[in-house]
Structure 1
Amino acid sequence: MIVTDTHTHLYSEAFNEDRAEMISRALDAGVERFFIPAIDSNYTTSMLQLEKDYPDHVFLMMGLHPTSVKENFKEELKHVEEMLAKRKFYAVGEIGIDLYWDKSTLDIQIEAFRRQINLAKQYKLPIVIHCRESFDEIFQILEDEKSEDLYGIFHCFTGNLEQAHKAISYNMKLGIGGVVTFKNGKIDQFINKIDLKYIVLETDAPYLAPKPYRGKRNESSYVMKVLEKLSELYQMSEENIAQITTENSKQVFGI
């Protein structure tokens, strides 16, 4: 059984004390594919080192996270452009709009999101979307930019059933993580109405740990708790869900 974590920040400072052990726990659990989203240029060196250390398991994205869209965002986008031109990445991400932390940067967040969507189209890569309190804004941009070569993953999907169908209509898979195990997470109430062909697994480690680890540091091995919950909700074996969601990740990332 091969399990894929489509979104994990393995380079995070939260893992500085035990990164190798944490990754070993995930590998031992059957999590063999780790897709690594970018945040900003501060983490590029750490990401490249991870890939060097685990070349058969770690696959990198490149992008500018919306919460890192500040006054210097054009310099940061230049870094993204230079890295995409220099070597292979598997997605442009994570990109999007976050209105939870700072609404004042909405205009430049939109500009950065659009520019990175165009980079993804240029390099024929998927996008991985970060959406926090910004479904309307993101759907408007996806509507403006929609085309056959725009596709990817709605990371950490926390919307409702209508928003799930809308995201899927823009060629997006839904990244399902620890929130599906939360009592107040709500997506557990409808997710089994979504065909599994649109679902991929993720942790967003070190954030959003599933039950029974909620409130603690998340790690990639905990994606097995997400798999367990989806097995219960879909009334399907964990092996089947692992196979389908890993196949879905291959469709998106091309590997």
Structure 2
Amino acid sequence: MVALIDTHTHLFAEEFDEDRELAIIRATEAGVTRLFMPNIDDTSVEAMLALCNSHDGCYPMIGFHPTSVDENWKERLGTVEKWLRSEQVFYGIGEVGMDLYWDKTFKKEQMEVLDIQVKWALEYDLPLIIHCREAYPELLEVLEPYRKTLLTGIFHSFTGTIEDAHKLMEYSGFMFGINGVVTFKKSILPEVLKSVPLKRLVLETDSPYLAPVPYRGKRNESAYLVKVAEKLSEVYDVSLSEIGRVTSENALKVFKNAENSF
């Protein structure tokens, strides 16, 4: 069995309320050895910590998602910051980023919130887990001043073009998070990844979302990470064990403070 790391899963979400413990068991049985949990916003921290603080191999992150940015963002982000500055150990700043797919009302505020959290990542020397949907120009505008810094992280759920990939690869401390989208029939990702070396990839599920083929349309879970790894084995024409080895090494380069945790 190949050992894999899920760098992005939301097993604390309500979609798992009926079988959360079983989902963790299934992930372990599938060879998924570590689960990295990005927070969503001020409303999700306690559920995430309840899960991670009671399971080995579960690593919480703290952040404020762009789609949660609203007219009360300062107060809500303040709550998240209090958690960051508490005694709780976190392994990354995320999930953060830009999302203009659903609504552009708070575009300026999203950019400000992202910039604040980039500064947190640098202050705490933690990786930044970046979500971006229909907003690459705005994302790159925020990140540009930090290009020469020691900022590291993951471009989560990367589904961009070859041009997008080349721009993002200039941020040498970042990996590309690849999930079930790579298995979709109409996905351009397998072609785009021909321009991205395997040493820049990490695996993720984004469960409960984006289930890979043959589970597409169903609830996703960390056990399905194997299907993502199998597809990358085809794309890069290397063994499944090589995919597991390289992507796990890449994950632990990003999450430095998780490397020796057990």
Structure 2 match to 1:166: 167
Structure 1 match to 2:187: 185
Deviations 1:199-243 (A, max 9, x none): 000000000101011111111011100000000111111111101
When structure 1 is superposed on structure 2, of 74-83 and 12-21 the one drifting more is 74-83
Structure 1 counterpart SS, 2:59: strand
Structure 2 match to 1:118: 119
| Separation in structure 2 between the aligned mates of residue 75 and residue 190 of structure 1, nearest angstrom | 40
Structure 1 match to 2:28: 27
Which structure is higher in helix share? 1
Structure 1 match to 2:232: 230
| Separation in structure 1 between the aligned mates of residue 3 and residue 132 of structure 2, nearest angstrom | 28
The offset of 1:146, in angstroms, is 2.1
Structure 1 match to 2:102: 101
TM-score, structure 1 normalization: 0.97
What is the total number of aligned residue pairs between the two structures? 254
Counterpart residue identity of residue 47, structure 1 = M
Counterpart residue identity of residue 81, structure 2 = E
| Separation in structure 2 between the aligned mates of residue 27 and residue 168 of structure 1, nearest angstrom | 32
8 Å contact from structure 2 (residues 84, 90) kept in 1: yes
Structure 1 match to 2:201: 199
Structure 2 match to 1:219: 221
Deviations 1:14-50 (A, max 9, x none): 1111111111111000001100011111111111111
The offset of 1:139, in angstroms, is 1.1
Structure 1 counterpart SS, 2:106: helix
The offset of 1:79, in angstroms, is 1.7
Structure 1 match to 2:49: 48
Counterpart residue identity of residue 13, structure 1 = E
Deviations 1:78-126 (A, max 9, x none): 1222111112211100101100111111011011000010111111111
**Identity in percent:** 49
Deviations 1:107-160 (A, max 9, x none): 110110000101111111110001000011101111122233211100000001
Structure 2 counterpart SS, 1:34: strand
Counterpart residue identity of residue 68, structure 2 = S
Structure 2 counterpart SS, 1:42: coil
The offset of 1:52, in angstroms, is 2.1
Counterpart residue identity of residue 175, structure 1 = G
8 Å contact from structure 2 (residues 42, 77) kept in 1: no
| Separation in structure 2 between the aligned mates of residue 221 and residue 116 of structure 1, nearest angstrom | 30
| Separation in structure 1 between the aligned mates of residue 25 and residue 128 of structure 2, nearest angstrom | 28
8 Å contact from structure 2 (residues 177, 203) kept in 1: yes
Counterpart residue identity of residue 44, structure 1 = V
Structure 2 match to 1:71: 71
Structure 2 counterpart SS, 1:190: helix
| Separation in structure 1 between the aligned mates of residue 148 and residue 10 of structure 2, nearest angstrom | 29
Counterpart residue identity of residue 148, structure 1 = T
Counterpart residue identity of residue 107, structure 2 = L
When structure 1 is superposed on structure 2, of 111-120 and 163-172 the one drifting more is 163-172
TM-score, structure 2 normalization: 0.94
The offset of 1:192, in angstroms, is 3.1
Runs (5+) with no aligned partner, structure 2: none
RMSD: 1.0
Counterpart residue identity of residue 169, structure 1 = E
The offset of 1:168, in angstroms, is 1.8
Structure 1 counterpart SS, 2:53: helix
Structure 2 counterpart SS, 1:205: coil
| Separation in structure 1 between the aligned mates of residue 212 and residue 59 of structure 2, nearest angstrom | 23
